[in-house]
Homo-oligomer: A and B are copies of this chain.
Amino acid sequence: MTTIDTDVITTATTQSQSPTPCELLGVAAEETRRLVLPAMRAAFAELDPQVALVCAYHEGWVDLDGNLCDGDSGKLLRPTLALATAKAVGGTAADAVPVGVSVEAVHAFSLLHDDIMDRDETRRHRATAWKAFGVPMAILAGDAMLGLSMSVLLDAPSDRAMRATKRITHDTQRLIAGQRADLTFEVRDDVTLADYTAMAIGKTGALISASCALGAELAGADAATVDMFAWCGDRLGLAFQIVDDLLGIWGDDRTTGKPVLNDLRARKKSYPVLCALNGSGPATRRLREIYLGSGQLPESDVAEAAHLIEEAGGRERARRAVANGALEVTEAFDRLGLPKREHDILLAIVGAMTDRVR
Known: A137-B183, A150-B150. A144 touches B173 (CB 8 A): yes
| A180 in contact with B48 (CB, 8 Å) | yes
Shortest C-beta distance, A276 to chain B (Å), equals 26
Taking the complex as formed, is A146 at the interface, i.e. its CB lies under 8 A from any CB of chain B?
yes
What is the bound-complex CA distance between A50 and B170, given in angstroms? Answer: 17
| 15 pairs from A and B in contact (CB 8 Å cutoff) | A47-B176, A48-B181, A50-B184, A51-B180, A109-B143, A113-B139, A113-B143, A116-B136, A117-B139, A136-B183, A139-B139, A140-B176, A140-B180, A151-B173, A161-B162
Could you say which of B51, B143, B183 contacts A146, with CB atoms under 8 Å apart?
A: B143
Residues of B within 8 A of A177 (CB): 47-48, 51
Taking the complex as formed, is A166 at the interface, i.e. its CB lies under 8 A from any CB of chain B?
yes
Taking the complex as formed, is A169 at the interface, i.e. its CB lies under 8 A from any CB of chain B?
yes
What residue in chain B is nearest A139 (Cβ atoms)?
B113
Q: How many interface residues does A have (CB within 8 Å)?
A: 39
- Which of A137, A161, A172 has its CB near the most chain B CB atoms (within 10 A)? A172
Task: Give a binary string over A91-124; 1 marks a CB under 8 Å from any B CB, 0 the rest.
Answer: 0000000000000000001000100110000000
Known: A47-B177, A176-B48, A177-B51. A169 touches B143 (CB 8 A): no
What is the bound-complex CA distance between A151 and B173, given in angstroms? Answer: 10
List chain A positions with a Cβ less than 8 A from chain B: 46-48, 50-51, 109, 113, 116-117, 135-137, 139-140, 142-144, 146-148, 150-151, 154-155, 161-162, 165-166, 169-170, 172-173, 176-177, 179-181, 183-184
Could you say which of B51, B150, B162, B180 contacts A176, with CB atoms under 8 Å apart?
A: B51
Known: A117-B135, A117-B136, A166-B154. A143 touches B176 (CB 8 A): yes
| B147 in contact with A172 (CB, 8 Å) | yes
Residues of B within 8 A of A48 (CB): 173, 176-177, 180-181
What is the bound-complex CA distance between A48 and B170, given in angstroms? Answer: 12
Shortest C-beta distance, A235 to chain B (Å), equals 21
| B154 in contact with A173 (CB, 8 Å) | no
**Besides A139-B139, A143-B146, A150-B150, 14 other CB < 8 A contacts?**
A48-B173, A48-B180, A51-B180, A113-B139, A116-B135, A117-B136, A137-B180, A137-B183, A148-B173, A150-B165, A151-B169, A154-B166, A155-B166, A162-B162
- Which of A165, A170, A172, A176 has its CB near the most chain B CB atoms (within 10 A)? A176
| B140 in contact with A169 (CB, 8 Å) | no
| B161 in contact with A147 (CB, 8 Å) | no
What residue in chain B is nearest A202 (Cβ atoms)?
B48
Residues of B within 8 A of A170 (CB): 151
